[in-house]
Amino acid sequence: MPGGAGVSAGPETERDLRAAEYVLGSLSPDERAAFELERVVDPATARAVAAWERRLGPLALAVPAEMPPDHVWPRIAGALTGADAIPAPA
């Protein structure tokens, strides 16, 4: 946590951390929905998101797009639906 152990982050730091998590896509669906509302009503939150998009946007351009092998998506779908795991090809 920023500031070291036992030190609470201030409102701006918390906003910035949530904005980074939002841009990275690591918020839960409920957290994302709440943050999107906050982003609409709070200009400082919208600015924090824009700043993180500027920082992280070049990373998306630096990594070439790659399609996963055909066996990956059925395994993901099985994991999400609770179906038995589909073994990876040998």
Q: CA geometry: angle at 21 spanning 17 and 22, to 5°?
A: 115
Does residue 88 form part of some domain? Answer: no
Does residue 23 form part of some domain? Answer: yes
CB 78 within 8 A of CB 86: yes
Does residue 79 form part of some domain? Answer: no
Per the structure, the complete domain to which residue 28 belongs is given by 1-64
Does residue 89 form part of some domain? Answer: no
Question: What domain count does the chain have?
Answer: 1
Q: pLDDT digit string (tens) for 8-67?
A: 567 679 999 999 999 999 999 999 999 999 999 999 999 999 999 999 989 888 888 888
Residue 86: is its pLDDT beyond 80?
A: no
CB 77 within 8 A of CB 60: no
- What dihedral angle (degrees, nearest 10) is formed by the CA atoms of 20, 24, 25, 31? -10
DSSP secondary-structure letter at 2? T
